Chain A
């Protein structure tokens, strides 16, 4: 699994690719938490190249969600497909995260969503 961080004005985008599992989720966690603590306005995770995510990967995303509440950072995911989407739905977390179809929609809408308050 690879994580590449792009910085745009007010937003950090983390491009993830590959499998997110017990071994690789620490890489995603380190990158996510660093961006959420950086003071940036919004953090987006590009999941379009993630073919597999397990419970440790989901736990990483939930931890980031909780940190985003503390830091008042807007946090969202886009490009979910296949296993990643179905696993989030199965865990009933698809209604908890801000989900966007693609990067364009995410960039258009993330600035207007409210930072999370319910987790």
Chain B
């Protein structure tokens, strides 16, 4: 499934809701679905704030790929190329506003990386594996 939205912060709650529902439909437990929705929300918010610098007339897309052992969430934007090496969560012992979004994404997803071959923008690939059955 592919979700295409404009870069308006007021739409993020809709994105969260859809991603969460899809995660439950895919077989993730409710708690994982909440965390996945938050990770995608944080990633989309980062695009709006940092890549698009608050512009609300751009677009971003989330592609959800269900595979046998995992679901991949591909967040695409068409802004300036992101230097992934510069994106780091802040140390948790520094109590200051900001810098937690990337930390939450890393906590809630199993892997997270940029596809370098994506033309014209950025594609962040966030992967969540299904829990192993006992």
Q: Which residues of A contact B (CB under 8 A)?
A: 19, 21-23, 52, 54-56, 58-60, 62-63, 65-66, 83, 87, 90-93, 96, 118-119
Give chain B interface residues in 79-107, CB to chain A under 8 Å: 92-93, 95-101, 103-104, 107
Asked whether B45 lies within 8 Å of A119 as measured between CB atoms, the reply is no
Is B38 part of the binding interface, using a Cβ–Cβ cutoff of 8 Å?
yes
B102 to chain A, nearest CB (A): 9
The reply to whether the CB of B16 lies closer than 8 angstroms to some CB of chain A is yes
Q: Is the CB of A21 within 8 A of B104?
A: no
Count A-B pairs with CB separation below 8 Å: 65
B10 within 8 A of A: yes
Shortest distance between the CB of A93 and any CB in chain B (Å): 7
Q: Which single residue of chain B is at the shortest CB-CB distance from A92?
A: B92
Among A54, A55, A119, contact of B95 (Cβ-Cβ < 8 Å): A119
